[in-house]
Amino acid sequence: MLTFAAMRADEREQCAVLSAEALFDYVYFTAFIPNDKRRMNFLRHLMNVEFRVNEGLARFFTVKDEGEIKAVVQLCPPDYHRPQDSEYLKAGFMKCYTAAGLSSVNQWLDTDRLAGMPCRDLEHAWFISLIAVDRKYNRQGIGTRAIQECIIPYVNKQGGKELCLFTNSQVNCLFYEKNGFVRFHEQSFETKSYRLSSCSYKMELNPPVFSAVQTDEEMEDIITRAEAENAQAEAAADTGRIDDGLAFMLRFENVAWYSDGAVKILDRRIYPIRTEYVTCTEYIQVAEAIADMVTQSGGPYIAAAMGMVLAAYQFSEKEGDEFLQEMEKAAFALSHARPTTVEKMKIITESALNAVREGAGRGLCGISMVDHMMRTALEIASGIYKNSLETGKILAEKVPDNGTVMTMCFAETYIGYLLKALKDSGKTVKVICPETRPYFQGARLTASVARDMGFDVTVITDNMPGYVMKEKNVDLFTAAADVITMDGHVINKIGTFQMALAAKHWGIPFYVTGNPHEEHVNMDSVVIEERDPEAVLHAMDAKTVMEGVKGYYPAFDVTPPELVTGIVTDKGIFAANDLAGYFELQR
C-alpha cells in the first residue's frame, strides 16, 4: 500500500538519485546536455542542491511502497521566493557547472526561469515543481495517486485554491489534462538541437476526492470508480477529442493507454462485471494480452499502437540501427498476435515504424522519441475512430425511427458511432444483442455500450436470433467484419453466418461495417483462427460439461456475399460483389 510523508534529511541523497534517474531521458535536459554521463552527474548534483537550498521553503514529499521510496514531489507554496543564486552556489551548485559545462548549464537555467515564470506569476497558486517516479517501479498510476491522494488533500488543508505546474512533454500534457489540469499558457524555446515547447497548467481545487482507506483493495476500488467517473465527465465535456460522447469503454484511456513506462488495457474478458486493467511493462506482454483476448474487436489495433510506444520506451537507451531493429521486432510480434487479422494489424505497426524512421531522421531519441511515438499512437487511434464515425453516420440513415437493430458480437466504435448518430438525430431505437459465447462479447460489451449511451437494450442467447428477428420485428441486422475479401466474403465472429441466413429468410437487411482489403483477393489468403477448445466447455468461469467431453472453437465463420445487403464504409455503402469502387474513391 502506498504511503505519503514529508522527506527526511537522511532520505535526501536517495531522493536526489531517484529524481536524477527519473529525469535522465527528459528532453528538458537532453536538449542542453546530450552527453549521458555528464547529464547524469549534473542531475544528481542539481537535485541534491535543490533539496538542500529549498529546505524550509518548499515542501518535499516521498511516496513509499512497503517503506521503499518510489516517488518524490516538490511543492512550492504561493509565498515561495526562489533563493538567490549565491545560496545555490553556497549549497554546491558549482559542481553542476563542472559536470555539464558553463554554457550548457546557463542556457538551461535561462530556459528554466522563463518556462516556470507563468506558474510563478500566479499570485495565489501552489506550484508543483517536481514529480519524479522511480523508473523501475512498475505499478501503474503512481503519479496520479501522488497528486490525488497527497498533493491535493495537503493543499486543501492549507486553504489553497489553485494548483499549477509546467511541462514540455506531450505525454505529460496528456497525463495532467487527464488529471483535471487546464492549460493556460504555452511558449517555445530554441536550442542547438531542439525546439522545446513549455505548457503551463493550473487546477481550481475542490474538497479532496479521496478519503482515508485501510486496505489495498479498498483503495483500488476507489481509484477505479473515480477513473470511471472522470472518464464519463470528460466524455460529456466539449474537449474536441474524437472519442467524445462515446461509452466509457470506448474512450482511448479505457481501450489501451500508454503512460509512465506501461500500457494499461481494460480487461474486456470480465468487463462490466469488474472494471480491471491489465498492465504491460514490455511490448511482448501487449502482444500476449491481444492473443489472450484481454481486448477484442477493434481494441487490439489501439493496443498495438500503444504497444509500439511502450517498445520505444523499453529500448529508449538504444540508438540508430539497433533501436530500429528492436522496433521492427516489436512490430512483428504485435501484428502477428492473432493470425486472422495480421494484414490489418500490419497497417498499424507499419505506420508506427514509419514514425520511428521519421523521428530518427530528425534526431529524436530517448524520451523525445517516446513522446513522438505517443503522438503517433493517438493519431492512429483517431484515424481509426474517424473511419468509424463516418461509417456510423451512414449506417444510421438505414435505421428507421422507433426501429429495432440486432447486432452480432462487438462492433467496437462502429456500434458506438452508430448509436451516437442515432442519438444525435433524435431517433428512438431498440437494440438486441445475442450473447456471443464463449466470451460473451455481445452481452458484456455491446450491451454495456448501448446501455451506457442511454439505449433500450436486450440480451438474448446465441440460439435465439432466428426466432427473435421475426418475433420482435427487427428492422436491421448489423455486424462489423474482421476481414472483407475483395470478392465479398465476410469473415466475422462465429455465428454471423447463421444469423445472416435467418435475416435473408425474413427479408431483413444485413449491413456489414468495415472496409474491404485488397491483400485478400479471396478466401485463399485468409486463415480462420481456431482457439483453445476448452473455452467452449465453460460459461465465464464455470465448467458446463462432464469430464472427458471435447470442445471445438473456430473463432470466425464466413458469410458469402449473396447474404449481405451492403458493406458500409467511410466512403458509402457498396454491394458485396462490387467492392472495387471503394478503392477507386480512395485513390
| Residues belonging to the active site | 482
Q: Cα separations (Å) of 204 from 142, 165, 178, 183, 263?
A: 22, 12, 14, 12, 29
Q: How many angstroms separate the Cα of 480 from the Cα of each of 81, 300, 455?
A: 59, 15, 19
Q: CA-CA distance, 113 to 94, in Å (whole number)?
A: 18
- Say how far apart CA 264 and CA 312 lie, in whole Å: 16
- DSSP states along 473-521: T--EEEEE-SEE-TT--EEEETTHHHHHHHHHHHT--EEEES---TT-S
Between the alpha carbon of residue 36 and those of residues 316, 317, 359, 518, the distances in Å are 13, 10, 20, 47
Peptide bond into 272 cis (omega under 30): yes
The answer to whether 187 and 116 have CB atoms below 8 angstroms apart is no
Grid cell 427487427 is found at 474
Cis peptide before 438 (omega within 30 of 0): yes
Give the strand pairing for 542-543 and 483-484: unpaired
Let me know: does 132 contact 71? Beta carbons within 8 Å: yes
**Residue 137, φ and ψ in degrees, nearest 5:** -85, 115
3-state secondary structure of 330: helix
What is the distance between the alpha carbons of residues 26 and 34, in angstroms, rounded to a whole number?
Answer: 11
Q: What is the DSSP string of 8-51?
A: PGGGHHHHHHHHHHHHTT-HHHHTT---HHHHHHHHHHHHHHHH
Strand partners of residue 512: 479, 567
- Per-residue burial over 175-195, b = 16 or more CB atoms within 10 Å of its CB, e = otherwise: bbebebbeeebeeebebeebe
Q: Are 324 and 371 in contact (CB under 8 A)?
A: no
Retrieve residue 456's grid coordinates: 433500450
Query: Could you tell me which residues come within 8 angstroms of residue 385 by beta carbon, excluding any fewer than 6 positions away?
Result: 242, 243, 413, 417
